[in-house]
Amino acid sequence: MTIRKDRRQLSSHRRAERGAQLASRSERAGTHGTRGASPGRLTLSLLGGGLLLLLPLIALAQDARYVAAGAEAKAGGGMLWAFYIIGALTVAGAVATITRRNPITAAMCLVGTLAGTAGIYLLLHATFLAAMQVLVYAGAIMVLFVFVVMSVEHPEEEEILGRSYLNLGIAIAVLIVLFLRLFPLVMGPEALQIRPPAVAQDFGSVTHIGKLLFSDYIFPFEAISLLLLVAIVGAVVINRRRGERGGEA
Amino acid sequence: MIPITHFLGLAAVLFGLGLIGVLLRRNVLIVLMSVELMLNAANLTLITFARAHGQSHGQGFAFFVMALAAAEAAVGLAIVVAVFRSRRTVHVDEINLMKK
């Protein structure tokens, strides 16, 4: 009787212990999931967030300039808003791709970016390429990525702004040059003057691109199919196990 | 109508973000994703100039870049899996066998 009671007490004690362990593990997972774990990641997130906040401001300023420029220019205002909304989503996905620690999350954010780019292609009258973008990139390539992400293990902690100060310096230099070049490009006086010519209704359609690929670009087209074949064979050969190497004569 | 420079600006931002990802991340899968991002930005530039000149040659070229990206992803991911099999890591700094 007493022994059984003891055992029951012991088991309940164990259960409590395990519960505490589980709680602490989930707590750890919780802190792992929240941001602020590493200063580098926080810096990148803040940078991306600031960039995102900047976009609506630019859009507002541009809209005001279009209104000032006249009614003819204002007619395309709705398209401009579409561009800014899709562009903001695209940039947000790209920022998330390079800041998320979990590769699955990063892959999903990259899918968002690729889909956003497909929307931008539609604004550029590239309908066939927009469809290809969704099918090939967001479909095939990203499925491959997610498959590989799931089949390899990942380190628990990854310092994003690692020990490589040279790389950090290069990245900051690229950012500075980019913004010094971009700001006058988008906001400068010539931005309103450069206007794309009017194109035919079937510009960028399947027929249009198909005719192009099978007349002017027939040789590159065949070359790229050979490249894809070589890539497939290469992927299989690289991943063959060592023991199978001597298998065939 | 949306000015051409806006598309070029967006492409430059995407390219810069991809470059930062390649330079600063240590997980080789994220590095490959950033490379895809950069290829995508280059594609956006090609399509933008195709629109700016009213000719579809740039779109044909973007199509080839897309096929190239597919081949690159297939071979790159195969190498990642092979390296992971022998070294049990996807950390870029630890994949240094060819230096030795």
CA-CA distance, A150 to A175, in Å (whole number)?
A: 32
Higher pLDDT, B58 or A192: B58
CATH code of residue A157? 1.20.120.1200
Q: Given this model, what pLDDT does residue B77 score? A: 93
Interchain pair A91, B14: CB under 8 A:
yes
Q: Given this model, what pLDDT does residue B66 score? A: 93
Residue B60: band (very low, low, confident or very high) from pLDDT cuts 50, 70, 90: very high
Q: Given this model, what pLDDT does residue A109 score? A: 92
pTM beyond 0.80: the answer is no
Cα angle, residue A212 at apex, residues A211 and A213 outer, rounded to 5°: 95
Domain count, chain A: 1
Cα angle, residue A177 at apex, residues A82 and A35 outer, rounded to 5°: 65
Q: Is a pLDDT exceeding 90 seen at residue B34?
A: yes
Nearest to A239 among B30, B57, B82 (CB): B82
Domain B4-89 has CATH 1.10.287.3510: yes
On whether any CB of chain B is under 8 Å from the CB of A127, the answer is no
CA-CA distance, A242 to A236, in Å (whole number)?
A: 13
Nearest to B16 among A175, A194, A208 (CB): A175
Q: Given this model, what pLDDT does residue A203 score? A: 82
Position A155, amino acid: P
| Size of chain B, expressed as the number of residues it contains | 100
If you measure CA to CA, which chain A residue comes closest to B85? A152
Q: What is the mean pLDDT of each run of 10 residues along chain A (249 residues)?
A: 52 53 45 48 66 62 60 54 89 91 89 92 89 88 90 69 73 83 72 69 83 92 94 90 55
If you measure CA to CA, which chain A residue comes closest to B91? A155
Radius of gyration of chain B (CA): 17
In a domain, A82, yes or no: yes
**Structural domain harbouring A51:** 40-198
Q: Given this model, what pLDDT does residue A30 score? A: 40
A residues 157-216 lying closer than 8 A (beta carbon) to B? 158-162, 164, 167-168, 170-171, 174-175, 178, 181-182, 185-186, 188, 190-192, 194-199, 203-204, 208-209, 212-213, 216
| Token pair in block for residue B86 | 């022998």
In a domain, A125, yes or no: yes
Position A140, amino acid: A
